[in-house]
Amino acid sequence: MLEFLNQHRSIRKYTNQTIDNELLNSLLEAACRTSNTGNMQAYSIIVTTDQEQKEKLSPAHFNQPMIKQAPVVLTFCADFNRFTKWCKQRNADPGYDNFQSFMATAIDALIAAQTFCIAAESAGLGICYLGTTTYNAGEIIETLQLPELVVPVTTITVGYPAETPEQTDRLALNAIVHKETYHVFSEKEIDEIYSEKENSDFYKQFVTENNKETIAQVFTDIRYNRKNNEFFSEKFLNVLKKQGFLK
């Protein structure tokens, strides 16, 4: 299992082969078997295979080609709609229109998503997460017709791999894992943590191509810049409010 998990790479190019329905359902079943809050199963998965629907979803994901090219697109949603309906039909007062409930269902949706991914990879499929989901959740809600108390939190494109990309680098474990209490890194330790990345030819090219001085500047000025982060923060908070999760 560890060897398999350590082989992970995101796949962004897929062959024309469709995914057998029975296989897809068995992967979804495995995803739904995983842990969830109080066994409320307060999440939903929207399966997109229709080309027209993919084209409609595409702009919300900034037209990343995977959406239109993958045979299957899965949108994992925090969902207290179904559970709330059930409570109302059972003489119970549901109190899930708040941020804590959103967090609980978002956590459940994400844990199910990753279980799906591992199941899919074990079946020879390739997956890619799209972080654009929380940027343009409002547009996705419209396309997928998500009702109140349903908010998309992540999207996965799935298909048979048409590429075998190099694995991306990872920081040493001691950059991520802390023993007993959080170790605040000194300036020197930060230098050490990022030195391998900074000395790699891949990242040197990445800096040159983007016309920047440092790798960090490519992130802060281009890929994940303050202006966009703040814009999309407000946008996502408004979506949470509109869908009824901030009462």
The distance of closest approach from Cβ of residue 233 to a copy of itself in the complex, given in angstroms and rounded to an integer, is 4
Q: Which of 16, 166, 179, 209 binds a copy of itself (CB under 8 A)?
A: 179
Which among 119, 110, 132 has a CA at the least distance from the CA of 158?
119
Q: Which of 13, 68, 69, 94 binds a copy of itself (CB under 8 A)?
A: 94
Q: What CA–CA distance (Å, rounded) separates 232 from 118? A: 29
**Does 185 sit near a copy of itself (CB under 8 A)?**
yes
> Which residues share a beta bridge with 126?
159
**Does 158 sit near a copy of itself (CB under 8 A)?**
no
**Does 78 sit near a copy of itself (CB under 8 A)?**
no
With 0-12 CB in 10 A as exposed, 13-18 as middle and 19+ as buried, what is 116? buried
Q: Which residues 6+ apart lie within 8 Å of 67 measured at CB?
A: 54, 57, 58, 61, 73, 130, 155, 157
| AA letter at 107 | I
Q: Which of 81, 155, 157, 243 binds a copy of itself (CB under 8 A)?
A: 81
Interacting residues with a copy of itself between 219 and 238 (CB under 8 A): 219-221, 223-227, 229-230, 232-233, 236-237
Q: What CA–CA distance (Å, rounded) separates 166 from 188? A: 30
Torsion of CA 94, 234, 217, 165, to 10 degrees: 50
Q: Which stretch binds a copy of itself (CB under 8 A): 12-20, 60-68, 86-94, 157-165?
A: 86-94
Q: Which stretch binds a copy of itself (CB under 8 A): 12-20, 60-68, 165-173?
A: 165-173
> Which residues share a beta bridge with 48?
73
Q: Which stretch binds a copy of itself (CB under 8 A): 12-20, 58-66, 158-166, 177-185?
A: 177-185
Assign 244 to helix, strand or coil: coil
Q: What CA–CA distance (Å, rounded) separates 139 from 147? A: 13
Number of residues that bind a copy of itself (CB under 8 A): 114
Q: Which of 61, 70, 72, 135 binds a copy of itself (CB under 8 A)?
A: 135
| AA letter at 197 | K
Q: What CA–CA distance (Å, rounded) separates 191 from 175? A: 11
The distance of closest approach from Cβ of residue 101 to a copy of itself in the complex, given in angstroms and rounded to an integer, is 5
Cβ-based nearer residue to a copy of itself, 30 or 162: 30
Q: x/- site string to a copy of itself, residues 20 to 59, per CB under 8 A?
A: -----xxxxxx-xxxx-xxxxx-xxxxxxxx--x------
The distance of closest approach from Cβ of residue 189 to a copy of itself in the complex, given in angstroms and rounded to an integer, is 9
Alpha helices in 12-98 (DSSP H): 21-32, 51-57, 66-69, 81-89
Interacting residues with a copy of itself between 96 and 125 (CB under 8 A): 96, 98-101, 103-104, 106-107, 110-111, 113-115, 117-119, 122-123
Q: Which of 16, 145, 199, 208 binds a copy of itself (CB under 8 A)?
A: 145
